[in-house]
Amino acid sequence: MGSLLTMVGNDYRQRLRDKSVLIFSLIVPLALMGVLSLAFGRLGTDSVDLQPVTVIAGVEDSGALGGVLLDTLGAMEAMKVTIREVPSGAVSSETRNSGAALGIVIPNGFSSALASGQPSNLQLVEGNGTALETSVLISVVTGILDQFAAAAATATAAQIAGLSPERAADLGRTAVSGKPTFVVTEGVAPAEQLSLRASLVAGQTGLFLLFTVGFGVLGLLAEKEQGTLGRIRSMAVPTWNIVAAKAIVGFSLGVVASAVLLVSGTLLFGVDFGSPVVVGSLVLGVAAAATSLTFIVARLVRTAEQANVAQSIVAMVLGIAGGAFFPIQASGFMAVVMDLNPVAAFIRGLGISAGGGGVADVAAPLAIMVGFASVCVLVSRFLPDRGATA
């Protein structure tokens, strides 16, 4: 045990002096998270920021409803709307030349026509503004007109029923401003799915974890090429101690780097992965699965260059297939195979945790990671040893 701890401490010092560990474990994934978040992060947000707009209005009507329509548009909370009144004949040209989002011409007799239930033509002119804000304004105008029409229909029906004009007007106003009989409340169920921004953070963490744990194998091969490994063996140190020391260093570096990346993603990109206990168990599981791959690589490759290439290939294949950059959709047998990917299990587990799940709820992803690690360790025992430990 003393020799194992000595080798672990020595490997830590070597890895910490090696700037490539810091670069590939933290700097590169954080930079890539930032770039991907800027490029695609807005696609995963639940809300859209509407830009301030200008509405050009030409009012020919002397009644009150035209003013109510414009006041309602100007009081919108979703976006800032500036109303600018011009002569009716100049609305079309002014809307297109000034870059306004919408032009409105309120015709003469608009208020009286609505009050009596008669048709009236309201002219809308689409400007050169963004299509989204213009569409929102048109929808709001349509909704206001529908309310006016409902009030007029209610008042007319009340008069036909024999109610006094005052009572009919009160019912018309109630149809517009009264509380609805039925209220629909939108609920949010935990979908156990990460937002796009959170999935980018989780995916990049899982991807670069595979690179981080690979530094253990690279250190083992580097010592073989430098002759250090032979001197260690001459001291009657068991071979498993040497491999275990590299695995412990790779595993612990992977855990620390993953924790730092997830915390950084939480702070920098405004995502939440849920309970730290659940997230910690998932980090330990995926780090164990990633470290188990190093046992296979250590027995197959002969040089540090080969190990670097092999580790990169494995990391990119598992990372992309696991959804490190974008979700992968599959069905049938391929879906089952891809579900066994530890990176995919890690992202799925973080989604469950973000949805409020506990340790018991992430049992399936944890079982996949532990099973993956067990299979890799078992397979490495039966592979011909022609690598660093040969």
Tell me what the mean pLDDT of segment 99-123 comes to: 80
For the sheet with 102-106, list strands across it. Answer: 81-85, 53-59, 102-106, 123-126
pLDDT higher at 282 or 386:
282
The answer to whether 66 and 106 are in contact (CB under 8 A) is yes
pLDDT higher at 367 or 306:
367
Task: Say whether 192 sits in a helix, a strand or coil.
Answer: coil
Q: Each residue of 277-298: pLDDT tens digit?
A: 999 999 999 999 988 887 787 7
Q: How many CB atoms lie within 10 A of CB 262?
A: 22
Would you say residue 187 has pLDDT above 50?
no
Would you say residue 1 has pLDDT above 70?
no
The pLDDT of residue 190: 47
Q: Which of 365, 199, 360 is nearest to 275 (CA)?
A: 360
User: pLDDT band at 106, cuts 50/70/90?
Assistant: confident
User: pLDDT band at 367, cuts 50/70/90?
Assistant: very high
Tell me what the mean pLDDT of segment 79-100 comes to: 86
Task: Say whether 83 sits in a helix, a strand or coil.
Answer: strand
Q: Each residue of 300-326: pLDDT tens digit?
A: 777 767 777 877 888 888 888 887 777
Would you say residue 169 has pLDDT above 80?
no
User: pLDDT band at 43, cuts 50/70/90?
Assistant: very low
Tell me what the mean pLDDT of segment 57-71 comes to: 82
Task: Say whether 109 sits in a helix, a strand or coil.
Answer: coil
- Distances in whole angstroms, Cα of residue 195 to Cα of each of 149, 230, 342: 41, 50, 19
Would you say residue 189 has pLDDT above 50?
no
The pLDDT of residue 240: 61
Q: Each residue of 320-349: pLDDT tens digit?
A: 888 777 767 666 677 777 778 888 889 989
Report the DSSP beta bridge partners of residue 157. Answer: none
User: pLDDT band at 370, cuts 50/70/90?
Assistant: very high
Q: Each residue of 212-245: pLDDT tens digit?
A: 877 766 666 666 666 665 555 556 556 666 667 7
The pLDDT of residue 366: 92
**Whose structure tokens read 């169920």?**
189
Share of the chain above pLDDT 70, in %: 68
How far apart (Å, rounded) are the C-alpha atoms in residues 198 and 201? 5
The pLDDT of residue 282: 92
Would you mind telling me the total number of residues written for the chain in this entry? 390
Least confident of 16-30, 147-161, 272-286: 147-161
The pLDDT of residue 93: 87
The pLDDT of residue 285: 92
The pLDDT of residue 313: 86
The answer to whether 192 and 357 are in contact (CB under 8 A) is yes
Q: How many CB atoms lie within 10 A of CB 300?
A: 17
List, in order of start, the domains of the chain with CATH numbers.
Answer: 2-44+195-382 (no CATH), 53-177 (3.40.1710)
Is 194 exposed, middle or buried, given 0-12, 13-18 or 19+ CB atoms closer than 10 A?
Answer: buried
User: pLDDT band at 156, cuts 50/70/90?
Assistant: low
**0.85 cut: is pTM over it?**
no
